[in-house]
């Protein structure tokens, strides 16, 4: 019979991470282990990547739910956890690992054989202008052709000047620019800010206004001068009919999928199916998982047949992260078959 246990872990940022919601110095996460008591030496490992202040299941009863899932793991189906995205993410991961021998191979593919890589964007965290400029230059020198900038925390004119700097040196055909506002714009000012941003040939903007304002977001998606991608808007929308209603109402150009926040792998795959049926583009982004979650996430993405840069982290944000089989070379993320993430 299946058994399970969990463990809490606190990740520490190397540098404070700036977002439109404030500065992050630590990131809480949980690891779940699953095994069959007939073969206890083979253990599946998953990460329940709770994101405090953002996850829909950030509630006082979170650990109680984890305890209940571990206690009843032999009878819990991932779809039973539709409203517990990070728990489902971790359980799906652990069960996949267990099914493949507990070796950190979650989704076998050419990627896990070391014969395929994933193209990723270079992420520029919020900071003062000088810090962001330095980070931009580092990403460009590393060979990234797609850069994503977090905006909305410093003076808007300073953010425009950073974009202007990039475009003075690189055209849109040379470097693709994405920006992520994390809902920082007020609805009344959003269109004028989008018009100002449009001068820099941006690929897209993620979540220009806060989630839950469907009619306002729909208006922006209809009239914005460049594509809008929904990110936080998907969090907590777990029922399939509700997902369909959201897409039908807003009809964004893209949706951003973070499985730890939008229903685990199963919930994210449901979003992908609905988006494809509606002619809406999508890509996958990590959500500050440890290297354990990033490993599974990258392996899953590699099975999706993606052809555009993905927003996957590279495991370099934290001082106390774990050994990872993922290797970054410029904008390419690959899997080192000689490595294992079994340091947890």
The CATH number of whichever domain residue 74 belongs to comes to 3.30.390.10
3-state secondary structure of 97: helix
Indicate if 218 and 131 belong to the same structural domain. Answer: yes
The CATH number of whichever domain residue 169 belongs to comes to 3.20.20.120
Indicate if 227 and 315 belong to the same structural domain. Answer: yes
Let me know if 258 is a catalytic residue.
yes
Q: Distance between CA atoms of 164 and 162, rounded to whole angstroms?
A: 5
| Mean pLDDT value across the chain | 93
Question: Which pLDDT belongs to residue 13?
Answer: 93
Indicate if 89 and 129 belong to the same structural domain. Answer: no
Q: Is residue 104 part of a domain?
A: no
Which of 27, 148, 150, 243 is flagged as catalytic? 150
Give just the sign of the alpha carbon dihedral 222, 236, 320, 342. Answer: negative
Indicate if 227 and 94 belong to the same structural domain. Answer: no
Residue 202 · residue 209 · CB < 8 Å = no
Residue 88 has pLDDT above 70, yes or no: yes
Indicate if 11 and 145 belong to the same structural domain. Answer: no
Q: Is residue 201 part of a domain?
A: yes
Selection from 56, 74, 57, 54 nearest residue 65 by Cα: 57
The tally of CA atoms less than 13 A away on the side-chain side of residue 127 is: 13
Q: Is residue 109 part of a domain?
A: no
Residue 333 · residue 118 · CB < 8 Å = yes
Residue 340 has pLDDT above 60, yes or no: no
3-62 pLDDT per residue, tens: 999 999 999 999 877 655 667 889 999 999 999 999 999 999 999 999 999 999 999 999
Residue 70 · residue 32 · CB < 8 Å = yes
Q: Domain tally for the chain?
A: 2
Selection from 146, 141, 196, 132 nearest residue 306 by Cα: 146
Q: Which domain holds residue 222?
A: 118-335
- Tracing tokens 């220009």 back to the chain, one arrives at 208
Which of 148, 193, 243, 258 is flagged as catalytic? 258
135-159 pLDDT per residue, tens: 888 888 888 999 999 888 778 998 9
User: What phi-psi label fits residue 86: left (phi over 0), alpha (psi between -120 and 50 degrees) or beta?
Assistant: alpha
Indicate if 147 and 229 belong to the same structural domain. Answer: yes
Let me know if 148 is a catalytic residue.
no
Q: Is residue 285 part of a domain?
A: yes
Indicate if 130 and 88 belong to the same structural domain. Answer: no
Question: Which pLDDT belongs to residue 126?
Answer: 73
Model confidence pTM above 0.75: yes
Could you count the other beta carbons within 10 Å of the beta carbon of residue 284?
21
- What percentage of the chain's residues is helix, strand, coil (to nearest 5)? 35, 25, 40
Q: Distance between CA atoms of 238 and 111, rounded to whole angstroms?
A: 30
Q: Is residue 85 part of a domain?
A: yes
Indicate if 229 and 330 belong to the same structural domain. Answer: yes
């Amino acid at each position: 019979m299946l058994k399970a246990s969990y463990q809490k872990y606190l990740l520490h940022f190397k540098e404070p991470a700036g977002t439109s919601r404030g500065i992050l110095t630590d990131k809480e996460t949980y690891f779940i282990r699953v095994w069959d008591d007939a073969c206890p030496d083979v253990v599946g490992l998953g990460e329940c990547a709770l994101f405090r202040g953002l996850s829909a299941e950030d509630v006082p009863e979170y650990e109680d739910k984890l305890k209940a899932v571990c206690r009843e793991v032999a009878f819990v189906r991932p779809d039973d956890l539709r409203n517990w995205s990070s728990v489902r993410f971790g359980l799906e991961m652990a069960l996949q690992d267990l099914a493949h021998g507990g070796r950190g191979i979650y989704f076998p593919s050419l990627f896990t054989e070391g014969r395929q890589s994933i193209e990723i964007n270079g992420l520029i965290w919020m900071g003062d202008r000088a810090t962001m400029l330095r980070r931009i230059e580092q990403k460009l020198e590393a060979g990234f052709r797609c850069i994503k900038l977090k905006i909305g925390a410093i003076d808007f004119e300073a953010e425009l000047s950073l974009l202007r700097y990039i475009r003075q040196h690189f055209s849109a055909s040379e470097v693709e620019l994405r920006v992520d506002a994390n809902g920082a714009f007020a609805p009344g000012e959003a269109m004028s800010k989008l018009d100002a941003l449009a001068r820099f040939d941006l690929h897209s903007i993620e979540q220009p206004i806060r989630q839950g304002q469907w009619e306002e977001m729909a208006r922006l998606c209809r009239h914005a001068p460049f594509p809008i991608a929904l990110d936080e808007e998907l969090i907590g929308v777990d029922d399939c009919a509700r997902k369909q209603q959201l897409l039908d109402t807003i009809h964004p150009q893209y949706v951003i999928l973070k499985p730890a926040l939008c229903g685990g792998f199963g919930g994210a795959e449901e979003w992908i199916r609905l988006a494809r049926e509606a002619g809406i583009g999508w890509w996958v982004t990590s959500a500050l998982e440890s290297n354990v979650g990033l490993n599974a996430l990258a392996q899953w993405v590699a099975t999706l047949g993606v052809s555009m840069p993905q927003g996957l982290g590279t495991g370099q944000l934290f001082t106390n992260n774990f050994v990872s089989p993922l290797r970054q070379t410029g904008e390419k993320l690959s899997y080192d078959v000689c490595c294992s993430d079994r340091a947890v």
